[in-house]
Structure 1
């Protein structure tokens, strides 16, 4: 009973993962049809590629015991094919600037996977510790993958408090500036009136001297 339940849950998990990996197909059909990426980010697909690479490595016999994680290997191996296809389509239709961004994001993906694979092979000598290490790295990558679409929203979230701070400072010092300008204007008017009165006194004294 327990093995049957575990198999059923594994099949449902693989089906859900397949839907997740195939979801961007409609987006890339539109990219092919319009021959443009419309400047959307490729970061979610490169992070998803890293996630699939790590979980495929996690399921292989070199990390896990024999082929106990075979369903993990199959679904994430399929995910690697999906993500590589999406990235290649993106590269084909994006601008030169977009190609540079993809290259910049792919470098850390390759480095993280290679470093994780090397550490798991060279630093750990049993399946248990290798599984814990690779699984932990893959878990962190999964969290980043699900949060990567927020890359468009995060700059705006940071910009909201900064914009509010600018408005507060503007209102505060704008009032002070108005008061200072008003005070300066009053002083100028007073000085001008004093100079006029002084000029009148001088003129009157000149007239009296002449008479």
Structure 2
């Protein structure tokens, strides 16, 4: 069973790489036009926090190297995306984005790491980190709703590309299967979504 779970985890990592890189076209457009237009940074901030927590979970829980490696990659990708967003955003949007990054990706993450690192030990530490990581995915699931609203109001799927939706679907399926194989209830909720959305 370990061989099957490892194989499924590797496939999950490959799909997750494609998912993390799926907004590349959006950021090429931002760089080309030298503006973030009406794109929203919140999904990328949430994905950075989620990837950071899942990396911490993967490093903390024995046998979760595949979770740690893919989410470490996600952290790097999201830092690049958010940095580009900060460079090309208007001053008001830049200030809002920087504040969210400071509060969520620095403050909240540091708080979680300090509390779990110094006050919790063993299985309870792993469970708290897993619970927080899984809970954050609820916020991530809600962040693409702005894109769906735009799709309905404009009757255009320009901001909800097929490949992005396809990789979200595959990613959710493969990581749920992996979670069943390794009997990890927290991973069953981890569908790393990184959807470009507009206000």
Task: Give the TM-score, by structure 2 length.
Answer: 0.70
Partner of 1:79: 74
- Partner of 1:90, secondary structure, is helix
Per-residue deviation, residues 30-84 of structure 1 (Å, max 9, x unmatched)? 1111111112110000000000110111111xx223xx11111111110011100
1 CA distance for matches of 2:10 and 2:137? 20
Question: Where does residue 176 of structure 1 map in the other structure?
Answer: none
**C-alpha displacement of 1:27:** 0.4
Match of 2:144, SS? helix
Corresponding residue number in structure 1 for 2:188: none
Taking the aligned partners of 2:91 and 2:148, their CA distance within structure 1 comes to 24
Q: Which residue of 1 aligns with 2:28?
A: 29
Instruction: Tell me, yes or no, if the aligned pair for 1:36 and 1:94 is still in contact at 8 Å.
Output: yes
User: In terms of mean alpha carbon deviation, does 139-148 or 94-103 score higher?
Assistant: 139-148
Q: Higher relative CO (CA 8 A, sep ≥ 6), structure 1 or 2?
A: 2
| Equivalent residue, structure 1, for 2:18 | 19
- Compared CA separation, residues 5 and 42, structure 1 to 2 (3 A): same
Among 96, 99, 112, the residue aligned to 1:101: 96
1:37 partner SS: coil
Larger relative helix fraction: 1
Rounded to whole Å, the distance in 2 between the matches of 1:81 and 1:107 is: 17
Contact 1:39 1:98 in 2 (8 A): no
Larger radius of gyration: 1
1:64 aligns with 2:61: yes
In structure 1, the partner of 2:121 is: 125
Residue 107 of structure 2: aligned partner:
111
What is the number of equivalent residue pairs in this alignment?
Answer: 150
Gaps of 5+ in 1: 155-211
